[in-house]
């Protein structure tokens, strides 16, 4: 009989959950980064997102969950023709640039880092292999942009069979309609959306329940 993880508590057990941090990089999050320069968007909300992710990641690590960082590198030499045509100009997340660097938070030595060249963290990367090697069944999604790289990654993860949980106060986008649309789609068709405070409580409870009793 198949073991269906049909509750959030079961899905979030640290033994089979990975925290995924998507594209927390200067070009997507910082004043003076690519998105800010090209669109003049308000970037101030990304500070709170980064701080919330940092707290959630610290809890995940203590619980023994892998923390996986996705990092975009968008030099044209890596991109498909359609991606180049849509972008129109090179200059976002270029190798060796300030823009490709992490925004406010960064991986710790025990974390995993996966470089990607398109919106989905699975396309052309070892992400699926790494997750399977760690026994992961659930992806706890954070990062930016909710409606672009977070969305693309969580959808493909769902199609590959992972349970999807989105930390609502740990994702963001300069496109509010797109942000809201992705969260609505996840709630209705894909997985669960909830705040980091509830997630931290569930992760800590799950870790305590599976921790061996002291001798």
Is 116 catalytic? The answer is yes
pLDDT at 168 (0 to 100): 98
Q: Is the pLDDT of residue 145 over 50?
A: yes
pLDDT of residue 1: 60
Q: Is the pLDDT of residue 153 over 80?
A: yes
Please tell me which residue in 27, 149, 151, 170 is annotated as part of the active site.
149
Predicted pLDDT of residue 118: 97
Which CATH number, 3.40.50.1820, 3.40.630.10, 1.10.150.650, 3.40.50.850, labels domain 8-208? 3.40.50.850
Burial class (CB in 10 A: 0-12, 13-18, 19+), 140: buried
Cα–Cα nearest to 100, from 21, 24, 46, 22? 24
- Mean pLDDT check: name the lowest of 25-29, 67-71, 137-141, 210-214: 210-214
Known catalytic residue: 137? no
Global pTM exceeds 0.85: yes
Q: Which of 23, 29, 92, 170 is catalytic?
A: 23
Residue 23 annotated to the active site = yes
- Which residue did the predictor score with more confidence, 212 or 52? 52
DSSP 50-70: HHHHHHHHHHHHHTT--EEEE
């Amino acid at each position: 009989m198949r073991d269906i993880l049909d509750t959030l508590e079961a899905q979030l057990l640290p033994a089979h959950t990975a925290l995924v941090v998507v594209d927390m990089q200067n070009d997507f999050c910082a004043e003076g980064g690519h998105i800010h320069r090209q669109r003049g968007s308000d970037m101030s909300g990304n500070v709170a997102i980064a701080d919330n992710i940092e707290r959630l990641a610290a809890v995940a690590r203590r619980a023994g969950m892998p923390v996986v960082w996705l990092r975009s590198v968008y030099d044209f030499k890596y991109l498909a023709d359609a991606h180049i045509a849509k972008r129109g100009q090179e200059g976002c997340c270029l190798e060796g640039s300030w823009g490709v660097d992490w925004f406010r938070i960064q991986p710790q030595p025990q974390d995993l880092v996966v470089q990607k060249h398109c919106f989905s963290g699975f396309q052309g990367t070892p992400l699926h292999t790494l997750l399977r090697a760690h026994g992961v069944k659930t992806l706890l999604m954070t990062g930016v942009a909710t409606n672009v790289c977070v969305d693309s990654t969580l959808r493909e993860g769902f199609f590959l069979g992972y349970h999807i949980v989105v930390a609502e106060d740990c994702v963001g986008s300069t496109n509010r309609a797109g942000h809201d649309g992705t969260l609505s789609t996840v709630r209705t068709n894909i997985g669960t959306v909830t705040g980091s405070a509830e997630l931290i409580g569930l992760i800590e409870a799950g870790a305590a329940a599976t921790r061996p009793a002291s001798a």
